[in-house]
Each structure stands twice: as C-alpha cells, then as structure tokens.
Amino acid sequence: MDRFPREFVTEWRKLELPFKGERAVVAVSGGADSVSLLLVLSELARRRKITNELVVAHFDHGLRGEESLADAEFVRELAGSLGYEFALGRGRVAKKGNLEQNARLARYTFFAKTAERQKAFAVLTAHTLNDQAETFLLNLIRGSGPEGLAAMRPVRQLEGTEARLVRPLLRWAKREETEEFCLARGIKFRTDAMNRDPRFTRVRIRTELLPLLKTFNPKIIEQLARTAALMPTAESESANAAAGENDVSELKLALLRKIDDPGLRNTLRQWIKANRGSLRGVTHRHIEGVERLVRSEKSGKTAELPSGTVVRKGSGKLFYEPK
C-alpha cells in the first residue's frame, strides 16, 4: 500500500470513524481532490480495509452550462465504473450577493437531504490542507478575529441532520498529492474554469498570494494550516473559564467533548502550560496524544509528555501527573 491510502487509513482511525457496517455519502465534484477521495475509498474497499457502503453525490450548480453537464456525466460514469450508487442534484444558484456562499449553501442543502434519505452516518468531503490555508488567508484579509481564523474541523455535525460532515483529507493531504494519486490510477479529473477566475478572491490567493509566500517559506501551506488549528474558539474560551473554576490539575471530559477540534487543542495547550509552567518541548504530537484521550471512549489510558510527566484519563476526567 503506498503513502496516500496508508495515510488515509491512519487518519480514518484517528477520527474514530466506522470501518464497516455503515453508509456514507461521498461528495464528488469531479476535481482532483474529490476524485482522489472516491478512488482511495474504492481501493481500500477492495483491500477490505474500509468497507462501508458508499453513495456518490454530485451537485450541478448550473453556472457553467455545458461544462457543468459534462462534470455531472463524468462523476456519474466514474461512480458507475466503481460500482457505486449515484445521486445527482441540480439547482440554479442566485448570483446576487456572494456567489461562492450561495453555491455552498445550495450544495450542502442537497448533501444533507441525500444523507437523510440514505440514512448515512456521514457526508465525506475532500477539503485538503490547501483549502485550510486558503480559508485562513481569506478570513485574515477580510479582517476576521481569532474565532473567524480558527481551522475547519475534520468532523462536525451536519446541520439539520443526524449525519456528520467528515473531511478525511483535511489534516494531511495537499492538492498536488490528490492530483498525483488520480493520475497514478489513470483517472484524468475535471478542471473547473471558475477556479482560475481572478475575479474571485480565493482564486487570487491560490494563484498569486500563496506562490509568493512560498518564496519565503516552502512549507507555507502546512504552516498556515497549523496556525489555523491553534486559533481559539468561543468554545475553548468557555472551557478555559470552566476549567479555572476547578482544580487546575484536572479537566472534565464531558466539557472537553463539547469543544470543536481547534478549540480543544488550544484548551489542552493552555491547561498543560498551566501545570508545567511552560510548553517547552511540547509538540503538536503530544497535544494530539492528549486529544485522542479526550475523544476515545476507553478509560485508563495515558499520554506521555516531555520530562516524564503524563496525562491520565479516569473517572470522567483528565489528570495531569508530574514526574
């Protein structure tokens, strides 16, 4: 198994998603990101690694005439060739106001209805590290505060449904990797002309600003995504306040599990800092280890920190235990 499917399985496990016995809706536009998502799921199903039932969903916004129709037909044929059910949605997106926001609303309304109809546990989308970085810069340019700059979450509840919105590529895959994966599997993905239209701010960020920033830092995509993940949220601020009301050496799991991922990581960092006196030597991997304690339902586990200290889970709480 090469890197792309191997990393995908690792992330699927980290997100504690079901490996079998469930149904999921896969949102596929026809571009490299979403096509790579469908291809890797199909490949892992053949290898008997992840064997949930899949329904491929595509929404035609009706914005590009014949090109839009061709995208829909491409996704239909791809889904059929892989043996998956295909769900097509169509709608005219209002061009007044923010076109990108209007298109997103129409698209996600269709995905939510499809998930409800299919009784799916999740809608899977193919957002990548690039999307995280672009969104961070877009919100920064618009003047957003810390909460507005917080990262997209890899898993959240899909509004109005019992399903979750899951982004299994978000924390590790870059756009060039999704393109390479598609081409390596002999699939020539679709290219949306609107993704090259400089009238859209996001396009200029992608084609002008990020290439310039790469001359300063070749890993700027990863760095921006990491910064977004560290931004505090309203949930993390309330959790910090609640934690301050209790013994600083412990945190209640019930409270922590209500916080989104960026907020949770920030809360854990501040809690560890309060107990250790500093975050020296504490890396992103250490924080992820403690985060897994929070998300896991199993008890009696520990996560190691530098200098021999540990975080232990038990009795519905996290405990900081010094060396």
The residue count of the chain comes to: 323
Locate 228 and state its tokens: 């977004």
Claim to verify: residue 187 and residue 255 sit in the same structural domain:
no
Residue 224 lies in a domain: no
Average pLDDT, the chain: 89
For every residue of 141-210, DSSP letters joined together read HTT--HHHHSPPPSEEE-TTSSSEEE-TTTTT--HHHHHHHHHHTT------GGGG-TTSHHHHIIIIIH
Same domain, 132 and 194: yes
Same domain, 141 and 285: no
Q: Are residues 135 and 256 in the same domain?
A: no
Q: Which of 85, 88, 81, 89 is closest to 187 using CA atoms?
A: 81
Domain that holds residue 59: 3-212
Residue 213's pLDDT band (cuts 50, 70, 90)? very high
Task: Tell me the CATH number at 290.
Answer: 3.30.465.60
Residue 54, pLDDT above cutoff 50: yes
The answer to whether residue 72 is domain-embedded is: yes
Lowest mean pLDDT across 126-140, 154-168, 228-242, 259-273? 228-242
- Is the residue at 223 inside a domain? no
C-alpha of 204 from chain center: 23
Do 25 and 135 lie in a common domain?
A: yes
CA-only gyration radius of the chain, Å: 21
Domain assignment present for 99:
yes
302, two tokens: 């520990």
Question: Residues 177, 97: one domain?
Answer: yes
**pLDDT for the residue numbered 94:** 66
Q: Is residue 225 part of a domain?
A: no
Beta-carbon contacts of residue 323 (< 8 Å; ≥ 6 apart): 307, 308, 309
Q: Are residues 248 and 193 in the same domain?
A: no
Which residues fall within 8 angstroms of residue 241, CB to CB, at 6 or more apart? none
The domain total for the chain is: 2
182: domain CATH number is 3.40.50.620
The pTM (predicted TM-score) of the whole model is 0.76
203-206: list long-range contacts, CB under 8 Å, 24+ apart.
205/134, 205/137, 205/138, 205/141, 206/130, 206/134
Place 246 in a pLDDT band, splitting at 50, 70 and 90: very low
pLDDT score, position 247: 46
Amino acid identity for residue 144 in this structure: S
Whether residues 14 and 100 fall in one domain: yes
Which of residues 157, 178, 212 is at a domain's end? 212
Residues 237 and 299 in one domain: yes
